[in-house]
Amino acid sequence: MAKPLQVEVYNPNGKYRVVSTKPMPGTRWINLLIEQDCRLEICTQKKTILSVEDIISLIGDKCDGVIGQLTEDWGEKLFSALSRAGGKAFSNMAVGYNNVDVNAANKYGVAVGNTPGVLTETTAELAASLSLSAARRIVEADEFMRAGLYDGWLPHLFVGNLLKGQTVGVIGAGRIGSAYARMMVEGFKMNLIYYDLYQSTRLEKFVTAYGQFLKANGEQPVTWKRASTMDEVLREADVISLHPVLDKTTYHLVNKERLAMMKKEAILINCSRGPVIDEVALVEHLKANPMFRVGLDVFEDEPYMKPGLGEMKNAIVVPHIASASKWTREGMATLAALNVLGKIKGYPIWSDPNRVEPFLNENAPPPAACPSIVNSKALGLPVSKL
């Protein structure tokens, strides 16, 4: 028999058994669970990505709920194991849940939570950082400096792109895409073109109002346009940032043909999910177009990069850190724990997953609701009146 995974146990006599597959930042989430009579078991095994078998062993014979990670494969096997153990709730510590087979969860009556809202600005800030770093070639310049190659100012040294007055393109203007768009428009006075299945009226109103403000101050106003196709964004924008969910419709959304539509000196940013870009085609495109630059937080075969990507000077690569601010990660842990706790306690579902602030206020008890359950309708769960 395989050796059991290492766990740390809090409140051993708690009535409800909750498992967290990883230690998570902060302590509030731990306290919230143990104050509500949960025995919490946190897997502390030194193994970055747990297998399905590892998680089945953590679930064991009795488990009321699990807090898991986006690196885990939550499908039929795990939901059936959780259901057999009496579990009714699982929450990803992430807003994206492409690692979860929601139909399988529905089949076993397991509620699936995610953590929207708390990571919107943090993720958008990283997309903005990558945009700036790519435009001004910051990583290349840093490497050059550290290599001792700088021997004096030169007119052509690391010349990049001025963002002001250029066009920023956003694909997927939901919570994060809209926050990124606002940062780039307001911060750098860029014009906006976006593509989404839905109209983002709040974003449009923001850019209109900011444009009017600039005009009233004698400056060139910024503009916005909602594109009717994604290709329009790719052709027109100078900086393009990808923020859709990953599903069948967005897999390889950016492929060889679409890369060819983009401007030769365009910048492409991906802080959504790796498979939204065909990474093999991207490597070829980067090789053929040295002035084209990318900033990537996510990768098609995470944690691996496709061959050649790591050697490309025109690529900035960071290890899926877009949501990595202390406040956000602690908030994600809190929301994930409250999703599981709320379902165990029979609480209703919070009516607006875009308005999660009441759950994050450390000076007040959280509302008696599950902050965000993605399959609440399918399971017929009641909605909170709060």
Ligand X SMILES: O=C(O)C(=O)CO
302 is catalytic: yes
Region near ligand NAI per CB under 6 A, out of 58-66, 270-278, 345-353, 378-386: 270-278
193, two tokens: 């073109």
Pairing of strands 16-20, 38-43: parallel
Nearer to ligand X, 231 or 302 (CB): 302
Options 298, 305, 333, 335; binder of ligand NAI; rule CB under 6 A:
298
Cα(312)–Cα(159) distance, rounded to whole angstroms?
Answer: 18
372 binds ligand NAI (CB under 6 A): no
Nearer to ligand NAI, 9 or 321 (CB): 321
96 binds ligand NAI (CB under 6 A): yes
Q: What residues make contact with ligand X under the rule CB under 6 A?
A: 70, 94-96, 119, 322-323
Phi-psi region of 171 (alpha: psi -120 to 50; beta: other; left: phi over 0): beta
CB contact at 8 A, 203 and 226 = no
Q: In what order do the strands lie in the sheet with 16-20?
A: 7-10, 38-43, 16-20, 65-68, 89-92, 111-113
CB contact at 8 A, 239 and 212 = no
Region near ligand NAI per CB under 6 A, out of 23-31, 162-170, 185-193, 238-246: 238-246
Cα(383)–Cα(178) distance, rounded to whole angstroms?
Answer: 27
Nearer to ligand NAI, 191 or 325 (CB): 325
330 is catalytic: no
Q: Which does 70 bind (CB under 5 to 8 A by kind): ligand NAI, ligand X, none?
A: ligand X
Cα(102)–Cα(111) distance, rounded to whole angstroms?
Answer: 9
**Residue 294: strand pairing partners:** 268, 315
Least distance to ligand X, CB of residue 96, Å? 3
Nearer to ligand X, 65 or 96 (CB): 96
Contact pattern for ligand NAI over residues 311 through 350, marking x by CB under 6 A = ---------x-xx---------------------------
143 is catalytic: no
Report CA-CA distances (Å) from 68 to 84, 100, 290, 311, 337.
Answer: 18, 10, 40, 33, 10
From 300, 320, 329, 330, the catalytic residue: 320
For residue 23, give the 3-state DSSP assignment.
coil
**Nearest-CB residue for ligand X:** 96
Nearer to ligand NAI, 41 or 297 (CB): 297
258 binds ligand NAI (CB under 6 A): no
Q: What is the CA radius of gyration of the chain?
A: 23
From 39, 182, 258, 273, the catalytic residue: 273
Report CA-CA distances (Å) from 302 to 49, 278, 297, 306.
Answer: 11, 13, 10, 9
Binding to ligand NAI in span 115-174, by CB under 6 A = 116, 119, 123, 171-174
Please give the residue ranges that form the binding site for ligand NAI (CB under 6 A). 95-96, 116, 119, 123, 171-177, 195-198, 243-246, 249-250, 271-273, 297-298, 320, 322-323
Q: Which residues are catalytic?
A: 273, 302, 320
